[in-house]
Amino acid sequence: MTLATQLAETKAISPGRADRGAAERRRGLSSPAWALAPAGAAALGLALHLALPDRQPSAALRPFTGLLAAMLAGSLAMAALGRTSGRPGAWARHRSPLAAGIVLTLVAWDLLTLKLAWLPLPYFPGPDRVLGAMWEDREALALSAYHSLRLLACGYAAGAAAGLACGVLIGWSKSARYWGMPLLKVIGPIPATAYVPLAMVMFPNAFISGVALIGLAVWFPVTMLTSSGVADVPAAYLDVARTLGAGRAHLIFRVAVPAALPSVFLGLFMGLGAAFLTLIVAETLGVSSGLGWYLKWKQGYLEYAHVYAALAIMSLFFSGLMTLLFKARDRALVWQKGVIRW
Amino acid sequence: MVTAGIEAATEPSSLHLREVCKTFRRADGAEVVALDRLTLDVAEGEMIALIGPSGCGKSTLLRMIAGLDRPTSGSLRVGSQPIDGPGAERGLMFQDPSLFPWKTVRRNIETGPAARGVLRSHRGEVDEYLRLTGLEPFADSYPHQLSGGMAQRAALARALINHPKVLLLDEPLGALDQFTRMRMQDEVVRIWRARRTTTVLVTHDIDEALYMCDRIVVMTPRPGRIERVMDVTLERPRHRNDPRFLELRAEILEMLHFAGDEPAEAEGVAS
Ligand SMILES: Nc1ncnc2c1ncn2[C@@H]1O[C@H](COP(=O)(O)OP(=O)(O)OP(=O)(O)O)[C@@H](O)[C@H]1O
Ligand SMILES: [Mg+2]
C-alpha cells in the first residue's frame, strides 16, 4: 500500500466513546457523590413519606410507598452497576444525576400534595392517588391504550404510505407536480382536525373515519418533504447513474429516494407529531374508545387521578414511538453521520 | 434493449465530432461560448488526451459525448450512430468523484453492474477493482470517511468496472499523490490495452498525457477550439525516463509556450 493510503487510513478513524467519559469527569457529573444521589433522594423521600402525616386521603394500597422502595432498590443497584467498567457501568454513571432528579421531582410532588396539601384537590392529586388510579383502572387503561395504538398504527401507516407514494410521484414527475402541487397547497395547510365533523359522517364507522383523519394529517407533511427531497436530488448523482446505465426505476428508487431520505424522515417525524394530535382530538370528538376518550370521560367525573394516569401512559406511549422512529432513522442514515454507531 | 445491445456490439466505437458548438446562457442573460466548431475523430481503441486551460470546455465536451448535454449545433456520433442521451456504453468519470454518499465504497463500485442487472456475475470483479485501487480496507466505508484521493480512485473503479466501449475520464487522477498516480496510470493503461476501449482522457499533466495516450489534443482558451493535435509515437510499454519521452515533453512545453498569444494558456496547462 502506498504512503498516501496509509496516511488516509488514520484519517478514517473517528474519536471513540472513551472521550465522552473524560468530558464528563471534567464536568464533575460522574463523581462518586452523584453515584449515590438517586439512592439518597429515594431514602429521603421514603423517610418523609412514612414519617409525615397525610393531609389528604390516600389510595387504598399506598402504591407510592412501594414505588419509593422500588426506586431505592433500583438506585442502589444502579450505584453498584456504576462501579463496574464497560458500557452498562458507564451508562449508570452517566444517568445517575438524571435518576436523582426524577426521584426528587416525585418526592416533591408527594410533599406538595399528600403531605402538605398545598395543591388543591381534585385537580392536583398526588403520585399516590395517580398510581392508585392506574392500578385500580388498569383494564380500562390497557384497553384504551390498545385502541389508541391500533388506530394510530393504521392511520399512520396509511398516511405514510400514501405520502411516500405521492411525494415520489410529485417530486419526480413534472406533470404530477403540475397537478399535485396546487391540490397539496389547498388541502395540506388545513389541520386534519378541522375535518372531524365531516369525517364522522362520511365514513361508515368511527374507526375508519379516525384512520382517514390521522392518515390525512400524516399524508401532508410526508408528501411535502418527500417530494421536495426527491426534486432536490443533486443532478450529479442522477448523471452518474445515467452514464452507468441506470434506467428510470433505478434512478427513482435507487438514487432519488435514498438521496431524499433525510428529508423523508423529517416528513415522517412531522407526520408522527400530527398523528398524535389528530388521534387525541379524534378520540375526544368522535371515536368512543382510546386514551383521548378515556381522558375526557374521566375529566367529566372530575377524576383527575385517572386523567393524570392516562396522560402518563400517553407520554410513555408517544415518546416510545418517537424513540422508535429515531432509531429507524439512525439506522437508515448511518451514511450521513460523522461517526457510525453500532 | 436486447436488439440495441446487439447493434451496439457490431457498431464500431470510434468517435466522430463535427463542428460541435456549445453556448451557455448565464443567469444575467449573457451568452458564454464554451466550445466553438470543434471537429475531432477518435479511432476505435485509441486513447487520446485532451489538454487545455481551465474553462476551455473540456468537461463540457465530455458531458456531450456522454449524452448528458446536447450541443448547441454540430453533431456527435459513435460509429455511425448519433449520440442521443446517456448510456452504459459511454462511461464518464466526472471531474468531481460524485460518489453516492449513502452507499459504501463497495456498493458504489457495484452501481453499474447492479443498474444493468448483471451484478451477480460481476461480484468477483468488484473485489478485483477494490484491490487494484488499493481500497480493499475501505470497502465498507462510506464516502464521507474517505480522503479526496480515495474517493477519486473509487470513482475510477466505478467507471472501469462497467466495461464501457467509450471511456471518458475527466482528470481521473488529479487528486492523487505522485506515487499512487503513477501506479494508477499503469493500471489504466493495462486495462485499456486489454480491452481496447476508446478513451478520452482530460488531464492537466503533460507527463500523464505523454505516458498514456496515442495523441494529445491541445485546446485553446475560451471559446474552446482545437489548437493542435500531436501524435505520440513512442512504442509501448513506455518509460518515463526514456530520452525520447523527455525530448517530446520538452517539445510540447515549448510549443505550448509559443502556441498562443494569451499567457493564461501556458499557465493553465503547465501544472
Ligand atoms: N451549466 C453551465 N452554465 C453556464 N456556463 C457553463 C456551464 N457549464 C460550463 N459553463 C462554462 O463553460 C465553460 C467551459 O467549462 P468546462 O467545465 O467545460 O471547462 P473545463 O475545460 O472542464 O475547465 P477545468 O479544466 O477547469 O475543469 C466555462 O467558461 C464555464 O463557465
Ligand atoms: Mg473540467
Q: Which three cell numbers stand for residue B34?
A: 464554451
pLDDT of residue B3: 42
| Angle at B175 (CA atoms; ends B169, B181), nearest 5 degrees | 75
Report the separation in Å between the CA atom of B93 and the middle of ligand 1, taken as the mean of its atom positions. Answer: 16
**Same domain (yes/no): A92, A202:** no
Residue B109 lies in a domain: no
Q: Is the dihedral of CA B104, B109, B110, B115 positive or negative?
A: positive
**Same domain (yes/no): A326, A249:** yes
ipTM: 0.88
Residue A17 lies in a domain: no
Comparing A16-30, A236-250, B16-30, which segment has the lowest mean pLDDT?
A16-30
Residue range(s) defining the domain that contains residue B36: 4-83+90-99+166-270
The domain that holds A227 is classified in CATH as: 1.10.3720.10
pLDDT of residue B248: 86
Residue A300 lies in a domain: yes
Own/partner long-range contacts of A87-91 (Cβ < 8 Å, ≥24 apart): A90/A17, A90/A21
Nearest atom in ligand 1 to the alpha carbon of residue B25 is 4
Query: What is Dmax (Cα atoms) for chain B?
Result: 55
Residue range(s) defining the domain that contains residue A40: 33-124
Nearest atom in ligand 1 to the alpha carbon of residue B53 is 25
Measured between alpha carbons, how far is residue B51 from residues A11, A254, B170, B208 in Å?
33, 35, 11, 11
Q: Is B59 in the pocket of ligand 1 (CB under 6 A)?
A: yes
One-letter amino acid for residue A295 of the chain: L
pLDDT of residue A28: 57
Confidence band of A139 (pLDDT split at 50, 70, 90): very high
Residue B58 lies in a domain: yes
Cell numbers 400534595: residue: A113
- How far is the C-alpha of A70 from the C-alpha of A337, rounded, in Å? 39
Residue B134 has φ and ψ, to the nearest 5°, of 70, 25
> What is the value of pTM for the model shown?
0.84
From A271, A275, A238, select the one nearest B111 (Cα to Cα): A238
Is the model's pLDDT at A194 over the cut of 60? yes
pLDDT digits (tens, 9 = 90+) for B122-150: 888 999 999 999 999 999 999 999 999 99
**Considering only CB atoms, which chain A residues are within 8 Å of B150?**
5, 8
CA distance A94 to chain B (A): 29
**Same domain (yes/no): A147, A120:** no
**Same domain (yes/no): A326, A284:** yes
Please report which ligand is nearest the Cα atom of B221. 1
The residue from A124, A149, A180 where one domain ends is: A124
Residue B239 lies in a domain: yes
pLDDT of residue A25: 55
**Same domain (yes/no): A187, A294:** yes
Q: Which three cell numbers stand for residue B39?
A: 471537429
Is the model's pLDDT at B210 over the cut of 50? yes
**What does pLDDT average to over chain B?**
88
- How far is the C-alpha of A318 from the C-alpha of A324, rounded, in Å? 10
Q: Is B268 in the pocket of ligand 1 (CB under 6 A)?
A: no
Closest partner residue to B115 (CB to CB) among A2, A245, A336 is: A245
Nearest atom in ligand 1 to the alpha carbon of residue B171 is 27
**Residue A159: enclosing H or E segment and its boundaries?**
helix A138-172
Q: Pick from B26, B28, B56, B217 the residue to mutate for probing ligand 1's pocket: most ligand atoms within 8 Å of its CB.
A: B56
**What does pLDDT average to over chain A?**
87
Instruction: Write the secondary structure of A226-237 as one string of H (helix), E (strand) and C (coil).
Output: HHHHHHCCCHHH
**Considering only CB atoms, which chain B residues are within 8 Å of A254?**
114-115
Q: Which three cell numbers stand for residue A75?
A: 438506585
Residue B241 lies in a domain: yes
Percentage of chain A surpassing pLDDT 70?
A: 89
**Same domain (yes/no): A109, A146:** no
The residue from A124, A155, A181 where one domain ends is: A124
Confidence band of A17 (pLDDT split at 50, 70, 90): very low
**Cross-strand pairs, B16:** B41, B77
Is the model's pLDDT at A2 over the cut of 60? no
Higher pLDDT, B259 or A130: A130
SS3 B213: coil
Q: Pick from B31, B60, B269 the residue to mutate for probing ligand 1's pocket: most ligand atoms within 8 Å of its CB.
A: B60
Selection from A250-254, A330-334, B22-26, B237-241 with the highest mean pLDDT? A250-254
